[in-house]
């Protein structure tokens, strides 16, 4: 009778001709920072001072609006800057829509209020 509790051991051939895949990920040091520049300029993050500078640039009345439109439609190679400009453009359009609705409703209310005085 064979014992069913036998542990089968498999031999591993360490001298095979199969090459192992090369690790292409950047190596990290003890500080957690990458030792290689793995981030391309397209995905490079914007620093805090960069965001601050772009906020100031986008706040300039006419020039800022032009820069927002240029950066939103692809005037930059950085995706982070493009998305930031798009968010500022959406915010600007939202504020303009809210003010437009407010002025329209105030104008209609003033017109309705002035109608009794316009009778001949």
Buried-state track 33-43, b at ≥16 Cβ within 10 A, e below 16: eeeeeeeeeee
Contact in structure between 112 and 78 (CB atoms under 8 Å): no
Is residue 102 scored above 50 in pLDDT?
yes
> 34: which strand partners?
28
Contact in structure between 78 and 44 (CB atoms under 8 Å): yes
38: pLDDT confidence band, cut at 50, 70 and 90? Answer: confident
Span 69-98, mean pLDDT? 95
Q: How far apart are CA 64 and CA 62, in angstroms?
A: 5
């Amino acid at each position: 009778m064979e014992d069913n509790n036998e542990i089968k051991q498999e031999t591993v051939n360490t001298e095979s001709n199969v090459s192992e895949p090369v690790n292409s990920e950047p190596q990290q040091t003890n500080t957690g920072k990458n030792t290689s520049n793995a981030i391309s300029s397209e995905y490079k993050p914007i620093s805090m001072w960069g965001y601050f500078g772009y906020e100031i640039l986008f706040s300039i009345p006419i020039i800022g609006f032009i820069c927002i439109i240029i950066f939103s439609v692809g005037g930059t190679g950085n995706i982070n800057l493009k998305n930031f400009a798009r968010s500022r453009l959406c915010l600007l359009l939202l504020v303009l829509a809210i003010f437009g609705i407010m002025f329209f409703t105030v104008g209609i209310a003033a017109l309705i209020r002035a109608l009794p005085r316009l009778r001949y």
